[in-house]
Amino acid sequence: MLNRIHKLAAASAIALVASWGTAAAEDWNVAFFASSAQNGFNQAVYEGVEAKAKELGNVTTSIYDGQFDAARQYGQIEDVLAGGKFDAFIVVPNDTVGIAGAIEEVGKAGKPVVTALFPIGPDLSELEPQVPGITTTVAGPPADGARLQAEDVVRFCADKDPCNVVVIVGQRIYPFDNLRYEAYREVLDQHGNIKVVATGEGNYDPDQSLTVMQDILQANNDIDVVLTNADQHLIGVEIALEAAGHDVEPIYLSGGGAASIAIDAIREGRWDVTLAHFPVSMGAYALEAAVQALEGKTPPSVINMDEVGPVPPLVNAEVLAEHPDFKGEWAQ
């Protein structure tokens, strides 16, 4: 009888130890700071964050709207840190340099910070964390992607002299947009046949891009290429070109983001290429890195989205023929 009791007790102890090993993981609260919660790209990043949280099962997330306002986003991070509710922070920064002070405070509090889309710090070309407190950078090097786009334009322009190019970026006041613009010019200005006839600022808005392109066409009606860092810009550009009587198909249209609208336009032969971003994947990688840090693991310091995306970074009709199921990870 005693033997039987001892066996039962031993079995119970084994079961108890096993239950410790399978106990539910600790619950985590993660704050996501969007550069703008109304922006489709940011919404897609947060979609990836939420999808990964649902997959993990023990993570609750909340989104904060930076409204494309650097000071507002800085204050939000300070306020959320002071509130003490959240265990980790994911940031799509509005000001990649100015926000460093708030990030350092989060780091001092021992809370992981993941930056998405852009590195935070003085050097936008450096993905390795530059600011104390940054756990992981989930991004592609902005200048590298811009050079890829510009080199692609050089190939298109090889047999055209002159080859008249319009460049449209978001806003040159943004360090990342200025870096892209400078990378464009660094490549294009090496070729005497390429003439940058106008530069505009579309502010990631189709309507503003439409107005900007209309103004450009009044002074420069002979256009061979429109090179831009955002698919949203090309939406307005295409409308402006058609309204001005241009046949859009011969004009080389290069966008950025690989939004689903761009993927459809390339498949239809209206647009030519887009520099791919993968915001849903980016959000999932960002949350996974944050949770790894919370669990005491060592996440990668850099996740280069140009290397881990589902298709090559420069997406044209040939790439889409090789990846017929790719639809883009966001609308626009």
Per-residue pLDDT of the chain (332 residues; tens, 9 = 90+): 334 333 333 343 333 333 333 334 689 999 999 999 998 899 999 999 999 999 999 999 999 999 999 999 999 999 999 999 999 999 999 999 999 999 999 999 999 999 999 999 999 989 999 999 999 999 998 899 999 999 999 999 999 999 999 999 999 988 889 999 999 999 999 999 999 999 999 999 999 999 999 999 999 999 999 999 999 999 999 999 999 999 999 999 999 999 999 999 999 999 999 999 999 999 999 999 999 999 999 999 999 999 998 999 999 999 999 999 999 999 87
**Shared fold status for 28-139+278-305 and 143-257:** yes
The domain limits of the chain are 28-139+278-305, 143-257
SS3 state of residue 113 = strand
Instruction: List residues bridging with 194 in a β-sheet.
Output: 163
Q: What is the pLDDT of residue 25?
A: 65
Q: What is the pLDDT of residue 151?
A: 98
Which CATH code is given to the segment(s) 28-139+278-305? Answer: 3.40.50.2300
| Angstrom distances, CA of residue 295 to CA of 24, 41, 288 | 13, 28, 11
Query: 116 is written with which tokens?
Result: 């998405």
Q: What is the pLDDT of residue 7?
A: 38
SS3 state of residue 50 = helix
Q: What is the pTM of this model?
A: 0.84
Q: What is the pLDDT of residue 242?
A: 97
Side-chain half-sphere exposure of 280, counting CA atoms within 13 A? 12
Print burial letters for 242-277: b (CB count within 10 Å at least 16), e (below 16): eeeebebeebbbbbbbbbbbbbebbeeebbbbbbbb
Within 10 Å of residue 224's Cβ, how many Cβ atoms? 19
The number of residues making up the chain comes to 332
Q: Are strands 252-257 and 302-304 parallel, antiparallel or unpaired?
A: unpaired
Q: What is the pLDDT of residue 39?
A: 87
Rounded to whole angstroms, how far apart are CA atoms 70 and 34? 11
Q: For the purposes of burial, counting CB atoms within 10 Å of the CB of 237, is it exposed (0-12), middle (13-18) or buried (19 or more)?
A: buried
- Phi, psi angle pair for 143, to nearest 5°: -70, -35
The CATH number fitting domain 143-257, selected from 3.40.50.2300, 3.40.50.720, 3.90.420.10, 3.40.50.300: 3.40.50.2300
